[in-house]
Structure formats: C-alpha cells, structure tokens
Structure 1
C-alpha cells in the first residue's frame, strides 16, 4: 500500500492512480481527456477514484467538488487547492 502524503502531488503519479483505477493504459489518461465522454467513467468509477485520492493524499473530497472535475488537469488543480488549504 502506498503511504499517505500531503506534499504536492506529481501529475504523472495522479495519472497512474487514475489509470490503475480505470484499468486503462496511462497513455489514455491525457491532461484534457474528459472522464465521462472520452474515458467512459461512471459514478462507481468516479467514487473509486475519489476514495483512492483521499487515502493517498490524506484529504477529504466533497461530492460537489468532484462533480465539477472532468479531466486529469481538473483533478490535479483540485488536489493542489485542497492540499494548500
């Protein structure tokens, strides 16, 4: 199990976490790929991503916050904002 960190996440690490969760190739998780339209993420997958990120980075992500995130770039920005606060 990966240890929890509150340091600034690396975008490539985040890309790997999302790819593993979706059982997709890392190359498919481009910065701007839309989770729903391009990667076919459903609500259960989105919840699984949220839980993994919360455990990995020691944060709490509100459902409303995650609803507004549609790409790797958006997820990365949200993580940076949460870790900064």
Structure 2
C-alpha cells in the first residue's frame, strides 16, 4: 500500500465522525458536518484537548497551536486533516 493509498483510506469522514463521537460520548448522528463543537455539542476545553490528542495519534499528524482554531466542527477538522495529510505526502 502506498502513502497515497494510506492517506486516502485513513481520512474517511465517517471514521473521523466516529472518532469525534466516541471522544464526546455522543451518537454519531449528532456529529453533523456543521455542528459547532462548543455551541451545539457542548465541548469544553478538556474534550477539545482529547479530540486533538486522538487526532494526532490516529492520523499520525502534529497539530500546531495555530491550527487548532480550525477544529470547531467536523467539516473544519476534516479539512485541516486532509490538508495536513496531503502536505505530508
């Protein structure tokens, strides 16, 4: 399996949705693309940190403090990870 194949298969939006739902202890149907983590899903700073740690571990990326502002919804998180994985290739 090539790096391109790995990145394409690793960054599956439904797997990402499952990961976020697991961290937040929510049903996956509640983690919509547009649901704002803080306003809609009641994510606090500890939960946000846990999401970040799980993302770094699961996807093998290092998220910089300046990039964390993108992690406000599933869509923003997906776009950030997609960019990080593409840049790593």
TM-score if structure 2 supplies the norm length?
0.85
Measured after TM superposition, the shift of residue 63 of structure 1 is 2.1
How far apart are the structure 2 equivalents of 1:75 and 1:69? 5
Unaligned runs of 5+ in 2: 1-5
Kept after mapping to 1: 8 A contact 2:70/2:80: no
Pairs aligned (count): 80
Structural mapping, 1:3-14, within 5 Å: 7-8=7-8, 9-14=11-16
Measured after TM superposition, the shift of residue 7 of structure 1 is 1.2
SS of 1:41's partner is: coil
- Aligned-CA RMSD value: 1.0
Structural mapping, 1:30-41, within 5 Å: 30-41=32-43
Specify which structure has the bigger relative contact order, considering alpha-carbon pairs within 8 angstroms and separated by 6 or more residues: 1
Unaligned runs of 5+ in 1: 1-5
How far apart are the structure 2 equivalents of 1:68 and 1:53? 13
Spell out structure 1 runs of 4+ moving beyond 6 A: none
How far apart are the structure 1 equivalents of 2:48 and 2:65? 10
